[in-house]
Amino acid sequence: MTGAVPRVGVVTFPGSLDDGDALRAIEQMGGHAVSLWHGERDLRAVDAVILPGGFSYGDYLRCGAIARFAPVMEPVMAFAERGGPVLGICNGFQVLCEAGLLPGAMIRNRSLRFVCRDVWLRVETAQSCITDGLTPGETIEIPIKHGEGQWIATPEQLADVERDMLVVFRYASRTGIVDEAQNPNGAVNNVAGIRNAAGNVVGLMPHPEHAVDPDVGPTGGQPLFASLLHMAMAGVIG
């Protein structure tokens, strides 16, 4: 299958904002970007799905609460259950939590303020669709921009998440130190991203799609997209 290019779909919900950026990042990293519409139950034969950032339905009730009921979410959930790679970025992460595909929930940042800045993330596991080929302990730089990014969970849930090593990224210093000073939103245990048990579903608050082009930001998103495209390729080949 040389020359095959994986198709990666990006869902546009009403109020999605970073869908265009995700589409561009996929193309830039060598994938074939496919735009998906919230109102359609058709995944257009994609090999991976991204739920992008933004404020779906204004995020007025709870972030992601309304989007999870969009018609497109039916095939997305089925795709996830079949093991297809699904990445939720920021609002997309919130949608995945609301839909029960990932544990925990997001509440407002500890500061109650929206925060947009470049942060460092420590990779916690290579067992996920966006960290395949990365080394646990290494750090990458990616921007965050959210008002409700404080990931929380009940103590039991948290214990399970840590035991099963579901944390994919933690907010850290450039050298990989994880502490409160590096926590931009108050997330429990500095959690910035998590996966499901199989690793095919991942959600993260930071925005890798804004970290692939050195002219406009850091480049920590490149290896994550490379990993996603690689995992999607498995779908193309297998």
**Is residue 63 flagged as an active site residue?**
no
Please give the Cα distance from 206 to 144 (Å, whole number): 4
Instruction: Return the residue of 1, 113, 175, 181 that touches other proteins, per CB under 8 A.
Output: 113
Q: Closest Cα to residue 8, out of 41, 36, 39?
A: 36
CA atoms within 13 Å, Cβ hemisphere of 231: 27
Residue 91 within binding range of other proteins, rule CB under 8 A: no
Q: Does 45 bind other proteins (CB under 8 A)?
A: no
Interface size with other proteins, residues (CB under 8 A): 51
Crossing angle of helices 19-28 and 222-237, in 10° steps, is 70
Please report where in the chains the tokens 């830039």 appear, as a residue. 28
**Which of these, 161, 79, 85, 191, lies nearest to 129 by C-alpha position?**
85
Handedness of CA 81, 20, 237, 126 (dihedral sign): negative
CB 105 → other proteins: shortest distance, Å? 5
What is the nearest approach in angstroms of other proteins to the Cβ of residue 210? 5
Query: Scanning the structure block, which residue is given the tokens 């034969």?
Result: 45
Q: Shortest Cβ distance from residue 162 to other proteins (Å)?
A: 17
Here the tokens at position 204 are 């993260």
Interaction of residue 57 with other proteins, rule CB under 8 A? yes
Determine whether 90 is an active site residue.
Answer: yes
From the CB of 87, what's the least distance to other proteins, in Å? 17
Should residue 98 be labelled a site residue for other proteins when binding is judged by CB under 8 A? Answer: yes
Give the residue ranges of DSSP H helices in the chain. Answer: 19-28, 73-81, 91-98, 155-163, 222-237
Our finding on whether 132 is near other proteins (CB under 8 A) is: no
**Is residue 48 within 8 Å of residue 87, measured between CB atoms?**
yes
**Contacts with other proteins, 165-184, as mask; x by CB under 8 A:** --------------------
What residue ranges bind other proteins (CB under 8 A)? 14-15, 17-18, 20-21, 24, 54-55, 57-62, 65-66, 69, 97-98, 103-105, 107-117, 143, 145, 147, 150, 152-155, 157, 186, 207, 209-210, 213, 215-217
Catalytic positions: 90, 207, 209
